[in-house]
Structure 1
Amino acid sequence: MSKEARISILLLVIPLIVSYLLLQPIHEEFTAKGDIETVTELGIDGSVYFTYVHSGIIKNYLEKFFLDMQYDDIEYLPLSDYEYNYFTKEYEEDVQHYKEQTIVNAVNLTNEHQTVVENQDRISDIIHEASEYYGDSFGLMIAIGLLEEELNKDYSRKGSILISGTGTIEEDQSVGSVGAIRYKLLTAEENGVDIFFVPKDAVYYGESSNQREASNVLKEEDLKLKIVYVSTLQEAINFLENLNLEHER
């Protein structure tokens, strides 16, 4: 076989080998920085923002290659076969359920003067507007935005303070723990957030809590934003009320 023929075969074989290797299965969950969004995008007349990240499941090395090209800072978490099957079959239904529940809780806790029917209509509207956003970690910020609307408040003082945060909201007004704290904080910092609410959950989860993780990220990344740890919606509102009073003096 001539040298030219061997080179031609090699040029044909190399792409096939590369394609084969890139299509090898790998089951991992990924997380990367996302963006912040105002609650007005959910039809709420408030001034606060919620923070979301990009996340999902990859099935092969080709998907991982393109994600590495797309994001500068991305984290991968290996999944067991059981975890992968759960994420691809049952997880979506669970996520939607918790997402709707945190919206129900936020509306019911902040619209006391509305009828049951009016609250249900509002819940349906917010669920519809939130369809493009994943997960339930915007519950606290939705509740704060709804209270601004209900009480005719502007905790941002006409946009001079950029307020964001994360955490679910439960029926008893408590703020629930969420995932991807590191990337939410980095996203908030990148977008110039001044105040960022984080669930106050160290007493329940210790070193693996949102509270400890946020504290570590604050130091490691030398973040400039102010992290405020809250265990209830009322704690967040008390902080914002006092913050506005200080600015009015």
Structure 2
Amino acid sequence: MTVPFPTDRPALAHRLRAAGCVYAEDEAELLLDAAESPAALADLVDRRIAGTPLEHLLGWAEFCGLRVAVDPGVFVPRGRTGLLVAAAAAVTGPAPAVVDLCCGSGATTLALAQRLGPRWLAAADIDPAAVACARRNLADLAVPVFQGDLFAPLPARWRGRLDLVVANAPYVPSGAVALMPAEARLHEAPVALDGGSDGLAVLRRVAEGAADWLAPGGHLVVEVAAVQADALCTELTGLGLTPQVRHDEDLDATAVTARRPA
């Protein structure tokens, strides 16, 4: 006799907790809400237990109080990136010109649009799947999302005119990618995770470009690992930018801001 799949929250939470899901009760409730039938629920739970990110199963993630669509394979926005958003809001003046590089799903772009009231705002990513996802998330705001490598796809007339550049660029050292949770290394694009031998390869290029694309007095804001902050600040100083480091213990996050002198 076939045993019915459990469709009550405590039983689902028990299964998820046994599989290592830290927030099993919350996940059980979300999966129950997302499933259209017991069969669909069973499929979702089996895939979650197998390691598929919850956000990819639901099709969305919560970020800075917003619900952001996240397609399979696209980098899932992390709560710690809220510090990047807060740091950008703290250093940026009214009606800024803003570009979000390595935008992924466009989550940071959405949060910045809400907090900053930019006079113009754009995003860019090298991953076609991320670009498609971000374009859908940003369609109502008419924010252009460019596909390409960092600053390369941006209109040349923007060079030297940006008030704010933000980037949640990959900063995991190549050798540490294999040590990441399976949810990330198996289900998110490697280009969104691998930061080169020391984790700073992409961020160095972001910094080099920002020194040229920022307007005088403009700011670059990036996320980085705490142990990488000093090395990145040295790079930024060498480029003529003035860096500052912000930590948030509650979010376990580190952001670096860098100002181009006026």
When the two structures are superposed, what TM-score results if normalisation uses the length of structure 2?
A: 0.28
Structure of larger gyration radius: 1
Higher relative contact order (CA 8 A, sep 6+): 1
When the two structures are superposed, what TM-score results if normalisation uses the length of structure 1?
A: 0.29
Q: Which has the higher helix share?
A: 1
